[in-house]
Amino acid sequence: MAEKIGLKNKKNDPLKENFIPAIRTFEGTGKNTIEPEQSRETGQSSTEETAGELMKGGAAMLDNAESSFYCLSIIGQIEGHYILDNTQKTTKYDHVIPTLVALEESDKIDGIMILINTLGGDVEAGLAIAEVIASLTKPTVSIVLGGGHSIGVPLAVSARRSFIVPSATMTIHPVRTSGVVLGVPQAFDYLEKMQDRIIKFIVSHSSVNEEKFRSLMNRTDILVNDIGSILDGYGATECGLIDEIGGIKDALAYLKAESGKGKGADRSSV
């Protein structure tokens, strides 16, 4: 792995040390694959340990002879400044954002695949993750699986290319808040400005126009206890919110094509 991609600072790579426990580099052996070595501490092979790490972290390295991609899952609720109880599956923004920064800086990674199945959550935390994804220079692709609801919408469109499976759904509704709300104009003005920030991000990172998106957000004839819309995969692509219908093979094909362009440019500049 290190020789193939030209990894710099092998001993101090934060990605290797902190974020991808599944990757093992065999220093000085010239080997760049994961071998089923027996662990002295656990007696398990490295492949068994890797499977355990994937179950714990919800992330994986997709490695082949040509490229290395990182697969990141955004699932459950997007956890913000308050810790949710342990009965809920959550995505913690304070874990995801440093991981994305490390992926951007790592010479081992050629692209990032983001799997989305979230019911939404903290608006500012979700928008922060989306902004970081959108600012990455490495090829990124998102796939909506199951659901990409509420703040999951900007997360889905933040990647350079977005896919959705036909059976997935996306809920579009106005921003809401919980707890005490003062009945003063400033409070409602704050919510309106927050909604505008979300809409501007979505419109600028997808093909849906603002008028269409606002009409979907304000519909009153679809949701029983709320206003808004629910789009399936075909509806999300038809309105331009998501780029195209597709799954894992389509996302991998896109990442391979995009990473190939970058490598071609690097070779031509040498």
Confidence of residue 23 (pLDDT cuts 50, 70, 90): very low
β-strand pairing of 140-148 with 161-164: parallel
Tell how far CA 114 is from the center of its chain.
Answer: 4
Reported pTM? 0.77
pLDDT of residue 64: 74
Q: What CATH code would you report for 58-269?
A: 3.90.226.10
pLDDT of residue 18: 47
Is it the case that residue 231 has pLDDT exceeding 80?
A: yes
Residue ranges of the chain assigned to CATH 3.90.226.10: 58-269
pLDDT tens per residue, range 128-146: 999 999 999 999 999 999 9
Confidence of residue 265 (pLDDT cuts 50, 70, 90): low
Question: Which of 27-41, 68-82, 107-121, 193-207 is predicted with the least confidence, judged by mean pLDDT?
Answer: 27-41
Residue 89 near residue 1 (C-beta atoms within 8 A): no
CA angle 92, 96, 100 (to 5 degrees): 170
Annotation says 173 is catalytic: yes
pLDDT of residue 31: 35
Annotation says 73 is catalytic: no
Residue 174 near residue 216 (C-beta atoms within 8 A): no
Active-site residue identified among 73, 106, 150, 158: 150
Active-site residue identified among 73, 142, 162, 173: 173
Q: Which residue has the higher pLDDT, 83 or 19?
A: 83
The rounded percent of the chain whose pLDDT value lies above 90 is 60
DSSP 39: P
Please give the mean pLDDT across all residues of the chain.
81
Phi-psi region at 6: left, alpha or beta (left = phi > 0; alpha = psi -120 to 50): left
pLDDT of residue 28: 36
Confidence of residue 176 (pLDDT cuts 50, 70, 90): confident
pLDDT of residue 11: 46
The rounded percent of the chain whose pLDDT value lies above 70 is 75
Distance between CA atoms of residues 84 and 78, nearest Å: 10
